[in-house]
């Protein structure tokens, strides 16, 4: 039976986010054998509650009242003024329209 080598570095190198002491503390971990790989189980199977608690869903988070996409024509100077305020300018237009509608 041959052991499967996991690629990585074989010696300590500074500036990688851990100290020499950290390296020495874990350097006695043996390489995995074929038997180790055969006996390994998925994280979610071993720790189902923890896996469920950290699972992330895809896409945007659900909102109470989702926004609707429309097509709206605005004067170029209005768009330029809002864009000049930086990132999030579309949201600021929404806030200005909400204020104008007195909602």
Per residue in 49-89, pLDDT (tens digit) is 999 888 777 777 777 888 889 999 999 999 999 999 999 99
pLDDT tens-place string over residues 16-51: 888 888 888 876 777 889 999 999 999 999 999 999
Who contacts 33 (Cβ-Cβ below 8 Å, separation ≥6)?
1, 3, 4
DSSP 16-61: SSS-HHHHHHHTTPPPPPHHHHHH---HHHHSHHHHHHH---SSSP
Determine the pLDDT at residue 11: 79
Determine the pLDDT at residue 25: 82
């Amino acid at each position: 039976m041959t052991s499967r080598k996991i690629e990585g570095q074989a010696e300590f190198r500074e500036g990688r986010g851990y100290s020499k002491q950290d390296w020495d503390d874990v350097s006695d971990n043996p390489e995995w054998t074929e038997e180790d790989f055969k006996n390994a189980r998925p994280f979610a199977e071993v720790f189902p509650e923890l896996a469920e608690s950290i699972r992330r869903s895809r896409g945007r988070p659900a909102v109470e009242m989702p926004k609707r996409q429309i097509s709206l024509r605005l004067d170029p100077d209005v768009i330029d003024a809002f864009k000049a305020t930086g990132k999030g300018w579309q949201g600021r237009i929404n806030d200005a329209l909400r204020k104008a509608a007195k909602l």
